[in-house]
Amino acid sequence: MEPFRYHVFICDQKKPEGIPCCAARGSAMTIDALRKEVAARGLMDEVQITLCGSLGACERGPNLVVYPEGVWYSGVRPEDVREIVESHFVQGRVVERLVTRDAAALRAEIQSNRAKMLAAQRAKDAAGILPDDLNQTLRGYQESRVLLTALELDAFTAVGGGATAAEVAQKISTGARATEMLLNALAAMGLLAREGGVFRNTPTTARYFTEGSKDNARPGLIHIANIWHRWATLTDCVRAGTAVSRQESVERGEAWTRAFIAAMHRIAAERAPLVVEAVGVERVERLLDVGGGSAAYSIAFARASEKLHATVLDLPNVLPIAQDHINEAGLAARVETRAGDLRHDRLGVGFNLVLVSAICHMLSPEENQDLLRRCWEGLAPEGRLVIQDFILESDKTAPKHAALFALNMLVGTEAGSTYSGEEYAAWMHEAGFQEVRQIRLPGLSSLMVGVRG
Ligand SMILES: C[S@@+](CC[C@H](N)C(=O)[O-])C[C@H]1O[C@@H](n2cnc3c(N)ncnc32)[C@H](O)[C@@H]1O
Ligand code: FES
């Protein structure tokens, strides 16, 4: 059976530094070009592209094999892709200049490469050298730091459509020598291209990291750079049992708060429709959005029902940011902001829905129990509490992002953490909620829902 006319297996294998592989020879650009060309020619239903591991001709990559014929193409550059698509996939004529025809020689090449790789693995193992993936994890912070620094300096915007290191350095007021080192490292990581002395953005960095692009994610990503400094204190925090350089957000500067709320908004704006759909707006006329941040969830709920009025409760320095988003959405008549302290204040009464999104991880178990009791008091009979957070499985070792986020809270808060579904359920029952259940959503966070009986 063959559901496609052609099935292309294209290697994107990345091997350790210095060992020939398709990734090091530019397979990412070839794959991107192939996908785009196949889509542009309207061939997506006829040509299936599947990424695969090493095909064995690693020194001659990027390699791909086309079935049903079993044609092996090697050294395929982005500029070759159009010819392959036109000639092979449209006209059925193989592009001979890129094909490996000698099956016996190819088999010998694959066997020889496999033997070399196995011998290298055995030698490493015998010498007791750290496995590559462990090494990569140990040094992972270097690449992360390079990218964060480039974002902090807005280097991708300065590179724009093409610039030398000296031009970039002048634009962003940095040292020319150091800037070239930074741009070279970004190019080595595949985040810039270098031709002669000119650096250019890749399609991805131009889209997500440059000013003026509609998908520029930089304002939200600066928050990750901001919390880098806290993560550097992790060892001391583990020793001390809590954050060692604590600063509540109200004491942090305006720029910090803006970056933090922008980061939250980016995630919230994407997730809000999913949450609204899972929760529903039937019989919801009053929503309380506890620690509502940018108001993205209140806005999404208000958009889903004209009868719905929402209150965004947050710290005074955050409310102007929320108000801007509310005004921009044209919902000032139905979404209001209220300054308050979610750790201590009474939350009001008579709400049909109380949303506590990305809040519980800031708090200790005792603080969460107290907050959930006040949420219960704030609800009308039959009203619902919806908690959204990174929720751990019962042994707390999965999902990985939730286990790591517990440490993010350790380094940044007095007593925050991530919690398991069982812990949430126990607190909710203790606060008086009924029909408590977890709703798993696609993506990183899920919901806990309970009803005030
Ligand atoms: C992680 S953000 C979540 C924002 C929003 N709920 C969301 O899911 O996108 C936490 C929010 O809680 C607010 N917050 C922190 N401490 C607070 C307090 N004591 N009282 C009220 N709001 C607080 C922060 O300003 C921020 O907007
Ligand atoms: S890494 Fe692609 S063929 Fe070996």
Residue 307, domain CATH: 3.40.50.150
Gap from CA of 291 to ligand 1 centroid (Å): 4
Residues 266 and 377 reside in one and the same domain: yes
Q: Which of 107, 106, 121 is nearest to 19 (CA)?
A: 121
Bond into 62 cis (ω within 30):
yes
pLDDT (average), residues 267-284: 96
**What is the three-class DSSP state of 79?**
helix
Domain containing 281: what range? Answer: 249-452
Report which bound ligand comes closest to the CA of 220.
Answer: 1
Structure tokens at 370: 């107290």
Angstrom distance (rounded) from CA 428 to CA 69: 61
pLDDT (average), residues 22-36: 94
Domain membership flag for residue 440: yes
**Where residue 247 falls among pLDDT bands split at 50, 70, 90?**
low
Model pLDDT for residues 308-349, shown as the tens digit of each residue = 999 999 999 999 999 999 999 999 999 999 999 999 999 999
Task: Assess whether pLDDT exceeds 80 at residue 248.
Answer: no
- Chain Cα centroid distance, residue 403: 16
Residues 141 and 94 reside in one and the same domain: no
Model pLDDT for residues 189-210, shown as the tens digit of each residue = 989 999 999 999 999 999 999 9
Q: Which CATH number fits the domain that encloses residue 53?
A: 3.40.30.10
Gap from CA of 359 to ligand 1 centroid (Å): 6
Residues 316 and 339 reside in one and the same domain: yes
Length of the chain: 453
Domain membership flag for residue 203: yes
Angstrom distance (rounded) from CA 69 to CA 84: 14
Residues 438 and 369 reside in one and the same domain: yes
Q: How close are the terminal C-alpha atoms of the chain, in Å?
A: 56
Q: Which of 362, 371, 445 to mutate to test the pocket of ligand 1 (most atoms within 8 A of CB)?
A: 362
What is the per-residue burial (b if ≥16 Cβ within 10 Å, else e) of 251-279?
eeeeebbbbbbbbbbbbbbebbebbbeeb
Residues 436 and 415 reside in one and the same domain: yes
Domain membership flag for residue 244: no
Q: Which of 151, 167, 138 is nearest to 159 (CA)?
A: 167
Residues 375 and 288 reside in one and the same domain: yes
Beta bridge partners of 201: 192
Residues 120 and 140 reside in one and the same domain: no
Residues 106 and 140 reside in one and the same domain: no
Ligand 2 atom closest to Cα of residue 11:
2
Angstrom distance (rounded) from CA 440 to CA 278: 10
Residues 273 and 344 reside in one and the same domain: yes
Model pLDDT for residues 364-423, shown as the tens digit of each residue = 999 999 999 999 999 999 999 999 999 999 999 999 999 999 999 999 999 999 999 999
Q: Angle 218-231/132-152 helices, nearest 10 degrees? A: 120
Domain membership flag for residue 241: no
The CA-atom distances, in angstroms, between 110 and each of 116, 117, 133 are: 10, 11, 24
Ligand 2 atom closest to Cα of residue 54:
4
What is the per-residue burial (b if ≥16 Cβ within 10 Å, else e) of 75-96?
bbebebbeebbeebbeeeebbe
Helices (H) and strands (E) in the chain, counts: 16, 16
Task: Assess whether pLDDT exceeds 70 at residue 265.
Answer: yes
Domain membership flag for residue 240: no
Q: Which of 11, 25, 72, 74 to mutate to test the pocket of ligand 2 (most atoms within 8 A of CB)?
A: 11
Tell which wins on pLDDT, 453 or 323: 323
Residues 442 and 303 reside in one and the same domain: yes
Ligand 2 atom closest to Cα of residue 15:
1
Which of 96, 125, 154 terminates a domain? The answer is 125
Instruction: Report the mean per-residue pLDDT for the chain.
Output: 95
Count of domains in the chain?
3
Domain membership flag for residue 428: yes
Residues 313 and 408 reside in one and the same domain: yes
The set of protein residues with a Cβ atom below 6 angstroms from ligand 2 is 11, 13, 21-22, 54-58, 61, 63
Q: Which of 19, 22, 50 to mutate to test the pocket of ligand 2 (most atoms within 8 A of CB)?
A: 22
Task: Assess whether pLDDT exceeds 70 at residue 251.
Answer: no
**What is the three-class DSSP state of 318?**
coil
The set of protein residues with a Cβ atom below 6 angstroms from ligand 1 is 249, 264, 268, 291-293, 296, 314-315, 318, 340-343, 357-359
Predicted local distance difference test score (pLDDT) of residue 395:
97
Domain membership flag for residue 228: no
Angstrom distance (rounded) from CA 114 to CA 58: 10
Question: What proportion of the chain, given as a percentage, has pLDDT over 70?
Answer: 98
Q: Which CATH number fits the domain that encloses residue 166?
A: 1.10.10.10
Residues 197 and 265 reside in one and the same domain: no
Can you give the pTM of this predicted structure? 0.84
CB 40 within 8 A of CB 80: no
